[in-house]
Amino acid sequence: MKKNTLNAEKRRKTILSVVLAIICVIYVLPVAAVVINSFKLNTFVKTDTFALPTGEMWAGVQNFVKGMTFGNYPFYKSVLYSVVITLLSTFLILLCTSMAGWYIARVNSAFCKLIYFLCVFSMVVPFQMVMFTLSKTADKLHLNTPWTIPVVYLGFGAGLAIFMFVGFVKSIPHEIEEAAAIDGCGPLRTFFCVVVPMLKPTMISVGILEIMWVWNDYLLPVLVLDINEYRTIPIHIQYLKGSYGTVDLGATMALILLSIIPVIIFYLTCQKHIIKGVAAGAVKG
């Protein structure tokens, strides 16, 4: 009886491993197609999409050079704007939402509960419902530059961040903060010297998720920014078009590869912190 149970458990794990392996291949296939086609000549990207770039298909670094030098808008400016927007947005989200999450978790009032539920509700509101109003509001408030658009990202990224921070702060014993207050710490010093070090797992997790979101975002910058003056990497890739709307898919794939490499490396390096942060923030929420 015990042997049959062990065999059944072994078969179940084998089937589960096969299913997960198939799902993994499905997810990896688009990335593999980008890598393969980034080294092919444009004519072969359409006809031999999944063939290896060998022989006459091989383009080498030609696609990368063409993608970075195409048109009148320099690629390095797109990289610079993407880095500035990503770093400023992530910093602003982490700073504001961690403080808000701590305040909401510690001040048990009807107003704080209302703010918390509004932030959580914002997570389920589709961006398409507010994008036109948002674009008009951003223009009126002059939030249409790489240095001010992080304020817009703060509004959209606050929901998930506050949800995770509130859940984690509720798991921190309140006596620690009371001891800091007895030692003479004010609210700001208590937060930055006592609470922030304990928030590190959740802050890393939220930071990783926000960086991946902002870096890859296309719709919000194209609606808010002046794309003739400010272009992020996704917008730059979108404008790799020649006469009559023709697109060099080889150069496009090359720039897509350049744009996803930093995110992939960053995610693989920090993925363990995502698991820890999500698990830490999912208690007593």
What residue ranges in the chain does DSSP mark as E strands?
none
| Contact between residue 188 and residue 180 where contact means Cβ atoms under 8 Å apart | no
**Cβ contacts of 115-123, under 8 Å, gap ≥ 24:** 116/162, 116/166, 119/158, 119/159, 119/162, 119/163, 120/159, 120/162, 120/163, 121/159, 122/155, 122/156, 122/158, 122/159, 123/159, 123/160, 123/163
The whole-angstrom separation of Cα 11 and Cα 245 is 53
Q: What is the pLDDT of residue 84?
A: 95
Which pTM was predicted?
A: 0.85
Show me where the domains of the chain are located.
2-64, 72-281
Burial class, 221, CB count within 10 angstroms (exposed 0-12 / middle 13-18 / buried 19+): buried
Contact 38, 229 (CB under 8 A): no
Q: Which residues contact 220 (CB under 8 A, 6 or more apart)?
A: 127, 131, 149, 152, 153, 156
Torsion of CA 75, 77, 82, 87, to 10 degrees: 140
pLDDT of 278 higher than 80: no
If one compares 193 and 243, the residue with the highest pLDDT of the two is 193
Under DSSP, the state recorded for 229 is: T
Q: Quick check: helix, strand or coil at residue 43?
A: helix
Q: In this predicted model, what pLDDT tens digit does every residue of 130-174 receive, in sequence order?
A: 888 888 888 888 888 999 999 999 988 888 899 989 988 888 888
Confidence check: pLDDT of 3 > 70 = no
**Residue tagged 């490499």 (tokens):** 261
Distance between CA atoms of residues 14 and 20, nearest Å: 10
- Flag whether pLDDT at 279 surpasses 60: no
Alpha-carbon 254 to chain mean position:
21
Domain 72-281, second-level architecture: Orthogonal Bundle (1.10)
pLDDT band at 282 (very low <50, low <70, confident <90, very high): very low
Cα–Cα dist 138/224, whole Å: 7
Q: What is the pLDDT of residues 25-68, one digit of tens each?
A: 898 888 888 888 888 888 888 888 788 888 788 888 888 888 88
Average pLDDT, the chain: 85
- Look at residue 245 in the predicted model and tell me its pLDDT: 62
